[in-house]
Amino acid sequence: MKRSNIVSGAAFTTALYAAVVILLSVAALAFLTFERIRGDLQREMDSLLIDEMRFIQEILDDNDNDNDSDVVQAIDDATLWLPFDTSLIGLFDNQGKRLAGNIDEYPSFRGWGEIEDDGINLGGEKRIHRVNVQTYRGFVIVVGRDLAFVTSTLRSLAWSLVAIGLGATLCTLLVGYISSVRTYRKLDQMAKTLNKVSRGEVKARLPVGKNNDQIDRVSRLMNSHLDNLTALMSTTRSAAAAIAHDLKNPLTHAYITLQQAKDSLQSDGQSVEAIDQIQSELDRLKWTFETVLRINRIEEGNSSKAFSYLDLNRLGQEAVENMIPLAEVKAQSLSFVENQSGRTLIEGDEGMLKQLCANLLQNSIDHCPEHSKVLLTVEQEESTVTLSVVDNGPGVPENTLGKLFVPFYKLESERNSVGNGLGLALVKAIADHHSSLLTATNNSPGLAVSVQFDAA
C-alpha cells in the first residue's frame, strides 16, 4: 500500500482542508481567549494595587501629627500581611529619600508601569513588577506586584491552547488518514476484482460492506452491471458454441460422404485433386469449429480438478522437440533455454499447457520467414515462473499488440492467409484458466509472447 496513494485520497485531502480550517479557527479563538484572560489578570492585579495604594493613602490621612516615624511604623506594621517577596512597597519624601518599604528608589514615571528590581531586597532574584506610582500629601508612594504568576499563567494557557489546536488538527488528520486507508483498501479491492473480471473470471464480484457508504453503493451497482454482463457473455458464448456444434455435425457428415466419393473415383482411376482441395477446406472449417468449442469449454470450466504439479522445463523441452520438424520445413532455427535453477514447478492442466506451448511455437513458425530464429525460454523469479516464445520475425504494429488474443483477429497483411486467428485466442483461454498473466511485446525485431505462472 503506497502512502502517497493514501495521502492523495479524497478523504485525507478533505481532512487536511478541515484541519487547516480547525487550526485557523482554534488559533483565532485562542488569541481572543488569551487576550481576554490576560486582560482579566491585569485588571485583577491593578485592582489589588489600587487597594494597596488607597490603604497607604489612608495611613497618611490618619497621621495628624505629621510624624514621619509614625507613618513609617504604621506602613511597616500594616504590610506584614503582604507577600513581601513578590510585592513592592515604597514610601519616599519629596527629596527622594526612602522612608519605608523594600524599594530603594522610586521610578521616574508617575502612574502605571513596569520595572525590574535589582534582586537585593527580594531574595536575590530579579523580577518584573507591575507598579503604580503616585504623589500624595508630599510623599511618593510606590506599590507593585511581581508579574511572574501572571506570566506563568499566561504561558501555561498559551501552551494549553497550542496543545488543543495541534491535538484537534492531528486528530482530524488521523481520522482522515484512517478513512483514506479504508477507502483506498476498498478501491484497491475493486481494482483487483475488476482485473479478475478482465482476465476472464466473470463470476468475481466487488465486495460490499455493511456501512453502505458511497463506495458500497457504487460496488452494488457495478455488481448488478457485472451480473448483466456475465449473463450476456454466457448467452453469446452459448450461442457461438451452439452454432459451432450445429455446423460441425453436417460438416463431419459431408466430409465422410466426400471421402467415400473420393475412394469411388480413385477406384475408377479418375482425378481427385478437386476433392482433395474440398477436403482441405473442410478440415480447416472442422478445426475452426473444434477450436471454438474448446475455447468455450475452457472458459466455461471453473474446476481445477485436472491440475497437477508440472515441470515447465520438461513441457517446454518436449514442445520444442515436437515442433522442430515443422520449423525445418522453413529452414528455421528452433531452440529451448531451460531455467538452470530447476525451480520450475507449477500447478496446471498438462494437456492444456502442451496445447499452449504448441500454439505459441506454431504462431512464430507460421509468421516468421525462412531462416528465422525461434526461442522458447523458461525463467524463474521469486514466486513466478515465466514461459516465453521469442522470434526475430517481422513483429506486429505496436497498436495491434492488444488485439492479438482476440478470436478471429488477423492483421491486414494476413487477411488472405490460411490461419483463422484462433491460435492465440486459445492460448489466452488456457492462460486465463490458469490465472496466469499473458503479455505480448515487440522484440525489435520480432515478437515476444510471455505467460507468467505462479510457482508451486
CATH number for the domain spanning 438: value is 3.30.565.10
What is residue 280's predicted lDDT score, i.e. its pLDDT? Answer: 65
Residue numbers of the domain that contains 404: 308-454
What per-residue confidence (pLDDT) applies to 449? 93
Domain count, the chain: 3
Tell the residue number behind the cell numbers 476484482, with chain if given. 193
Examine the domain organization and report whether 99 and 138 are in the same domain: yes
In this structure, is residue 175 part of a structural domain?
Answer: no
Domain of 256, CATH number, reads: 1.10.287
Residue at 201 is within a domain:
no
Dist CA 375 CA 384 (whole Å): 20
My answer on whether 313 and 448 are in the same domain is: yes
Q: Give the 3-state secondary structure of residue 385.
A: strand
Write down which residue in 133, 151, 169 finishes a domain. Answer: 151
The pLDDT tens digits for 224-235 are: 887 877 776 666
Residues 316 and 450 occupy one common structural domain: yes
The helix (H) or strand (E) run that includes residue 134 is strand 128-136
- Determine what percent of the chain is predicted with pLDDT higher than 70: 74
408, 270: one domain: no
In a shared domain, residues 294 and 390? no
- Give the separation between CA 200 and CA 213, rounded to whole angstroms: 28
Among residues 151, 173, 206, the one where a domain terminates is 151
Rounded CA gap, 396 and 141, in Å?
Answer: 104
Last residue of a domain, one of 151, 171, 204: 151
Q: What angle do CA 30, 37, 44 make, to 5 degrees?
A: 175
Residue 22: which pLDDT band, with cuts at 50, 70 and 90? Answer: confident
Q: Is residue 165 part of a domain?
A: no
Cis omega before residue 397 (within 30°)? Answer: no
Q: Are residue 116 and residue 24 in the same domain, yes or no? A: yes
Q: Which has the minimum average pLDDT: 89-103, 119-133, 334-348?
A: 119-133
Task: Sort strands 373-381 and 333-337 into parallel, antiparallel or unpaired.
Answer: parallel
pLDDT digits (tens, 9 = 90+) for 400-416: 887 888 877 776 555 44
CATH of the domain at 57: 3.30.450
Span 288-305, average pLDDT: 64
- pTM > 0.85: no
In this structure, are 338 and 385 located in the same domain? yes
- pLDDT tens digits for range 147-188: 888 888 888 888 888 888 888 888 888 887 787 777 777 777
For 115, the 3-state DSSP assignment is strand
